[in-house]
Amino acid sequence: MIIERREVEFETEALISVLAGSPRAAAAFGLARGQPQAVIFEPASQSVRFVFPGGGQAHSVSVESARLGALLVSFCLRMRMPLPRRAEKSIRVEPGSVVLAFRVTTRPNLASLLPEERRTEGPPASAQAWGS
């Protein structure tokens, strides 16, 4: 089996950009309009807390990672970032970032492979490219 992994990491500045670029989606999560003044990553609860200024007192809204993942995937698609369609998707909150992870598994079908060309001069180009 062949396994391909890809991760997309969102740090504080990126999450603020996601909220600024997705005001309707942010409102659906109960987030205030405008930019948060702080983003607090909570790995223990796998959530992110957004702190918004408000009059004399700031208020915060916590968003669990699964709900945040939907917002981040939607944002990536709108940014035309290529994401694998047929992948196992997961999200994790780390200290200082949120990570979208994609895992694609492929079973090679040897019967469908094209035959390699027979070469008599030296090793294949792929072996040379990897320093063999």
| pLDDT digit string (tens) for the chain, length 132 residues | 889 999 999 999 999 988 888 888 888 877 877 788 899 999 999 999 999 887 677 788 899 988 899 889 988 998 999 988 889 999 999 999 999 999 999 888 777 777 776 655 666 666 666 665
Q: Phi/psi of residue 65, each to 5°? A: -60, -40
Q: How far is CA 45 from CA 52, 100, 125, in A?
A: 20, 16, 49
- 72's tokens: 């981040």
Say what the pLDDT of residue 123 is: 66
49 bridge partner residues = 40, 62
Using CA atoms of 68, 72, 73, 74 in order, give the dihedral in degrees to the nearest 10: 100
The reported pTM is 0.75
Strands 2-10, 47-52: pairing is unpaired
